[in-house]
Amino acid sequence: MVKKRMTISPTEKNKALITEMLKAAHFRMTKPRTAILDLMIDNHGPFTIEEIQKILKKKSRISIDFATVYRTMRAFEKAAIVTKCDFGDGFSRFERTDHRSGHHHHHIVCNICRKTARVDICPVGDLINLAKSSGFDSITHSLEFFGVCGECQTL
């Protein structure tokens, strides 16, 4: 008789990591936070507030108020647990921060359905080719820089 393997629920599987992440940021371990982190560990995203809410409602049957999701995301962002993405369509999106030094990635966004694909290299020329090979068309890109200008550095 074959020994049946123990099935581990997603939450169970990620519990250690979640506990660690919340503890490191001095956050209390609550149901909404655990569920959100569990989702973001298993799925790359990025996710809008509404997506996070709906996915958790469907998959985990957990109802989280949207104000809580907003607050959680803001807190997580400040704690560098998540990174905000702005695709210029009026929705804030969030994904887990990539803490490997020097690592960052970009996205390609469908202008119709807003689906996103991850793009892992940066130089623009190569990126356009890679993006095209992912099946996207009519590609444009937006590149903006942020920083602190000379005047504000002395404030």
The residues that touch a second copy, with contacts defined as CB under 8 A, are: 85-88, 106-113, 115, 117, 119, 122-125, 127-128, 131, 135-153, 155
Count of CB atoms situated within 10 Å of the CB of 128: 16
Select from 42, 66, 78, 121 the one that contacts DNA (CB under 7 A).
Answer: 66
* Contact assessment for residue 25 and residue 74, using Cβ atoms and an 8 Å cutoff: no
Q: Does 83 bind DNA (CB under 7 A)?
A: no
Select the span of 4-12, 64-72, 130-138, 139-147 touching DNA (CB under 7 A).
64-72
Contacts of 43 (CB under 8 A, 6+ apart): 55
Minimum CB distance to DNA, residue 62 (Å) = 8
* Length of the chain in terms of residues written: 155
Select from 63, 111, 129, 134 the one that contacts DNA (CB under 7 A).
Answer: 63
- If the CB atoms of residues 17 and 110 are measured against a second copy, the closer one turns out to be 110
Report the candidate in 67, 97, 101 with the shortest Cα–Cα distance to residue 84.
97
Select the span of 4-12, 63-71, 123-131, 145-153 touching DNA (CB under 7 A).
63-71
User: For residue 47, what is the enclosing H or E element?
Assistant: strand 47-48
Identify the burial level of 9 via C-beta atoms within 10 angstroms of its C-beta, where 0-12 means exposed, 13-18 middle and 19 or more buried.
exposed
Tokens coding 106: 């970009």
- If the CB atoms of residues 39 and 109 are measured against a second copy, the closer one turns out to be 109
The one of a second copy, DNA, none whose footprint includes residue 123, by CB under 5 to 8 A per kind, is a second copy
Q: Does 45 bind DNA (CB under 7 A)?
A: no
* Contact assessment for residue 47 and residue 60, using Cβ atoms and an 8 Å cutoff: no
Residues near DNA, by CB under 7 A:
22, 27-33, 48-49, 63-68, 70-72, 74, 90-92
